[in-house]
Amino acid sequence: MPELPEVETIKRGILPHIIGRTLQCVKVRRRDLRWPIPTRLNNEMMGQTVQSAERRGKYLLLYFTRGCLIIHLGMSGRLYRVEHNTPYQTHDHVDFIFSEGSLRYHDPRRFGAVLWTTEDPQQHPLLCHLGVEPLSAEFNAAYLYGYTHRLATPIKTLLMNHKIVVGVGNIYAAESLFLAGIHPQCVSRQLTAAQCQLLVKAVKQVLNAAIEAGGTTLKDFCNGEGKPGYFQVKLQVYGRENQPCFKCQTKLQKIILQQRTTVFCPTCQP
């Protein structure tokens, strides 16, 4: 599932193919994603040129001459380049047809979103309340402690709260907590400042490693062949319930937090 590293990888992968290119038209085959794709989108976008691309959390922002395309991949969304007239298949909901090649949006579960704004996208209702970027300097121990020391929610839930820090999904929350040696159910306000420091470092390390892995297969990614690179990162706990911990061989445990499967090592994460 697309997490921050994959969105970053997609951004880097498609940018060279669309920057400076002019949009000829948008073909929408299915409009009912998480929110309906705006009907005015085609008319307003047509003839505009891509100026730049940006990632905010798991949102992908494509800035055009006058307006910005906001894309979220939800859980099963994919965005990749195809040659003109590539036959479409099930769940290929949108084609953005450029002067050379197209961008295709594919999303079986339709949890994703394709939106358009002519205002500052950072002020968009979906983006304006988002917390800090996990890889920025703003996400540091003091910032995290500012939230943890007064909240009673499990630390994993807090880590996945996008009003606090964006882009950390179920996989990387679990992986970061393992790396930091913190129990996912630990009540936030029981965390020490030192533990916050460890956790911040762990989040950055895990995300950076994943982005780097994505980068190695960037070429495959653009061609729409192969698998997203971040699966190459060896996951320590996610999806490994009942298997031995790589560090200490203890059997990994599974609990449910916020209706999300959460795997951890009872020995390494006391």
Partner DNA sequence: AAATTCTCCTGAAGGC
Partner DNA sequence: TGCCTTCAGGAGAATT
Which positions touch DNA (CB under 7 A)?
1, 3, 32, 34, 57-59, 72, 74-76, 90-91, 108-111, 126, 151-154, 157, 162, 167, 169-171, 238, 258-261
Give min distance, CB of 173 to DNA, in A. Answer: 8
CB closer to DNA, 171 vs 210: 171
Give min distance, CB of 151 to DNA, in A. Answer: 4
Which distant-in-sequence residues (6+ apart) come within 8 Å of 231 by Cβ? none
CB closer to DNA, 98 vs 145: 145
Treating both helix axes as pointing N-terminal to C-terminal, what angle do 193-216 and 141-148 enclose, rounded to 10 degrees?
120
Write the CA distances from 126 to 27, 68, 192, integer angstroms.
Answer: 24, 14, 32
User: Taking a C-beta distance cutoff of 8 angstroms, is the pair 106, 91 a contact?
Assistant: yes
CB closer to DNA, 19 vs 128: 128
- For residue 23, the Cα-to-chain-centroid distance in whole angstroms is 25
Dist. CA 171–CA 3, nearest whole Å = 8
Residue 27's DSSP bridge partners are: 95
The two beta strands, 102-106 and 92-98, are: antiparallel
Dist. CA 96–CA 81, nearest whole Å = 9
CB closer to DNA, 97 vs 210: 210
Amino acid at 207: L
Tokens 């193919």 correspond to what residue? 17
The neighbour count for residue 90, using CB atoms within 10 Å, is 8
CB closer to DNA, 9 vs 170: 170
Give min distance, CB of 267 to DNA, in A. Answer: 22
Give min distance, CB of 70 to DNA, in A. Answer: 11
Name the burial class of residue 72, with classes exposed (0-12), middle (13-18) and buried (19+) by CB atoms within 10 angstroms of its CB.
buried
- Catalytic positions, please? 2-3, 58, 260
Token reading at 98 = 């450029």
